[in-house]
Structures are given as C-alpha cells and as structure tokens.
Amino acid sequence: MLLQTVSPVQVLGTVVLFAIFLSITAHLAARNVLGAVDPRRALYVGPLPAVVGVVGGAFSLPAFLTVPVALALDAAMFHWSYERDRRVTLAMTAIHVVITVLLGVVLGGIVLLLATRPT
C-alpha cells in the first residue's frame, strides 16, 4: 500500500472551499425560508460542518457519526446566525441539506463529465 502525504495547505484549501460551498447553499436555504436576508450571515453557517466533514474524511470516521454532528452544528449555526425559533431553524437546515446534495451531485457530475471528455 502506497501512502500519500497531504500538506496542511491542501487540507486548509479543502476546508475553505467546502465552507464557501456550504455557506452559499446556506444562503440559498435561508432565502428560501426567510425571503431577503443578509448574505454575510450565511458565512457563519458553513465552516463548522465543513471542518467536521473534512476531519471525518481524514480519519475515515463512519458517516453515521459525522453526519449527525455536522447537521447539529449546521442547525446550531443557523439558529445563532439568523436568531429564529427552532421550527424555522429546522426548516432552514432541512432545505440546506437538500440544496447541498442536489447542487453537489450536479457539480460533481459536471466535473466527472469534463474529466472524462476526449482530448
């Protein structure tokens, strides 16, 4: 088995890009539920679930452990950032999950198609 080394810059870059992606989808979810909202508030939502995802992947932790932790942090950050009641927070979190999965599948498919195109 060949071990690959990963630099701290690569890990940091992955966390930052994932946090930006999650913040964008968090803003879309918040707009869907609340209407016009300040996009800067979504910047608080993305980083913690991104860290959980990257750390979970780095240590090969099972999804049944990392997903609930990431969802709980996502909901907590929505609640803290947008200062809404529990019901609205759960709606934003659920819509955030749906938007993130759909957009991730579409963007992943586009990347896969572009990677396999003939040269």
Q: Render pLDDT for 61-102 as a digit per residue (tens, 0 to 9).
A: 999 999 999 999 999 999 999 999 999 999 999 999 999 999
CA 49 to the chain's CA centroid: 6
Task: Tell me the per-residue pLDDT of 31-71, one tens digit each, with 9 for 90 and over.
Answer: 999 988 999 999 999 999 999 999 999 899 999 999 999 99
Residue 98 in domain: yes
Residue 52 in domain: yes
Residue 23 in domain: yes
Residue 28 in domain: yes
Residue 2 in domain: no
103: left (phi over 0), alpha (psi -120 to 50) or beta: alpha
Residue 4 in domain: no
Listed residue (57, 45, 49) closest to 11, CA to CA: 57
Residue 93 in domain: yes
Residue 3 in domain: no
